[in-house]
Amino acid sequence: MFKILDRYIIKTFFGPFFFIFSVLFFIFIVNIIWIQLGQFIGKGLTTFQIMKLLFYLGVNVVSMVLPLTILLASIMSFGEFGERYELAAMKAAGISLTRVMMPLLGVVTLLAIMLYLFSSNIIPDFQRKAKNMLFNIAQTKPALNFTPGQFIDQIPGYMVKFDKIEGEDGRDLEGVFIHKKASTFENQQSIVAEKGKFVTPPNKNYLQLVLFNGYVFEDDYAGKVENVRLKQPDQAIKFDTLVSHFDVSEIINKAIEEEKITEDFRFQSFEELFKTIDNTKKDNVKLVTNISTEVMSQTSSVVSYMDKNKSKAPVKSQYKFDTIKKDKKLEMIYNAHSRLDNLKTTLDSKNQELSPSIKYFNKVVIYQQRMLTYSFTCIIFFMIGASLGSIIRKGGMGVPVIIAIVIFIIFYVINVGFENVAWSGKMNPYLAAWLPNIILFPFGILMTYKALTDSQLFDSEKYKSFFKPLIKLFVKDKEHKRYQ
């Protein structure tokens, strides 16, 4: 009996689960598109490349989508149980709410473990691919970087040289030489021009080059015997303007997929981040030691300058401040103020120098701990969602969705708030990563207790009766006079 019931409960849960996950994933993807839209436009990307980039970016949002999906799905499924009086029937049959929650608790625990493994092993790899792809797309012409005065073979099938590269984005050229790479069975061709200019073509897979005042040197030897080749001279064609197109789709596609960025803590697994944290901590200790030594040295010089009474100089060489002449007195005050002001400036600059290192260390720690904390968030959200669903006893997309979104917003605000505090160095990063779960866990326990005790937490009549004496004080009695 229980096995059939367990299958039914799990089936009821996964119905809204897959639907909600798809909707939330789509919403987060749309948000990513809106943020990254400027990097897509005008780059000549194919539909496949855009879809691939969105997939890379979308994988990263799973860690945030899954906990919210569990919260919504648990509220909706248990709300439907209550709305259809199935919970009441289960309790009448002697099945407690704890027993009803157990199969889904096992499923959610399994999902939490899978989320940890996914965050530790799969998301870092896709983070690396997405970041490199975005970096390469952001460049106008990936990998087409020409150096003046050197022969470059970046354009497939051609060898080019430009004496000068000037103008906006390096589009204006002088002293252009282009040689087509050809075998002995193909026509040879070389182009020489005084000036040239890169023009943006409609198709980004082609490089359009407009040449001015030059010659095209071409032979017609293809397929002919050697004697004919020796007799036939080269053809020279003079031109005022020549427009050439070069197919660079292969190099652009390779450049977009090329991984130029390899060093980033977001590309590492949970275990690999331990080494990064240790190295960062050692570097920060060295930096703090160097800064402390430098500041203390400067502070000591200021103190020794100002504290004349503790100097080892003979008493005769010491003077009382009141006996010093006015001009000399002002000079001493000005020097002391200058030294203190320099010390303050040094402290501020060292603090700014130390701040990025502290922020980076806290970022690495929080990123690592989030792989664990989001997994525990899934379990906490299930406790809250299942309890609220059994109390509310309403399914569908109405009240349950509103309550779930409010809870998630509270969690998100707490999460981001403590994260920013930790980045500034005012809170331990480990505590900042776990504190949202620590705050929500007692609330989950409370909601579970309320659900087990059949609490009327959302019964409007209960609250009306509670506030009825207070309302009577401000509302006039509307009873008709004839009944008095």
The pLDDT tens digits for 112-150 are 999 999 988 888 888 887 777 766 665 544 445 567 877
Which of residues 314 and 405 earns the better pLDDT score?
Answer: 405
pLDDT (tens digit, 9 = 90+) per residue, 364-417?
899 889 899 999 999 999 999 888 888 877 766 667 778 888 888 899 899 989
Which of 97-111, 241-255, 346-360 tops mean pLDDT? 97-111
Average pLDDT over residues 10-30: 87
- pLDDT for position 310: 47
Q: How confident is the model at residue 309 (pLDDT cuts 50, 70, 90)?
A: very low
Q: Nearest-CA neighbor of 44 among 172, 185, 196, 207?
A: 207
Query: Which tokens is 266 given?
Result: 């977001």
- pLDDT for position 323: 62
Q: Nearest-CA neighbor of 368 among 299, 449, 433, 294?
A: 433
d(CA 414, CA 58): 23
Q: How confident is the model at residue 483 (pLDDT cuts 50, 70, 90)?
A: very low
Q: Which contiguous run of DSSP H or E holds residue 144?
A: none
Average pLDDT over residues 92-116: 88
Which of residues 362 and 149 earns the better pLDDT score?
Answer: 362
Angle at 451 between CA 446 and CA 457, to 5 degrees: 80
Indicate if the pLDDT at residue 316 is higher than 50. no
Query: Which tokens is 63 given?
Result: 């860690």
Q: In what order do the strands lie in the sheet with 189-199?
A: 158-166, 172-180, 189-199, 206-218, 235-247
d(CA 439, CA 436): 5
Indicate if the pLDDT at residue 328 is higher than 60. yes
pLDDT above 90: percentage of residues in the chain: 9
pLDDT (tens digit, 9 = 90+) per residue, 425-480?
888 999 999 999 999 999 889 888 888 877 665 555 554 665 667 666 666 555 54
- pLDDT for position 142: 44
Please tell me the least confidently modeled range out of 50-54, 267-271, 300-304: 300-304
Average pLDDT over residues 296-306: 59
pTM over 0.75: no
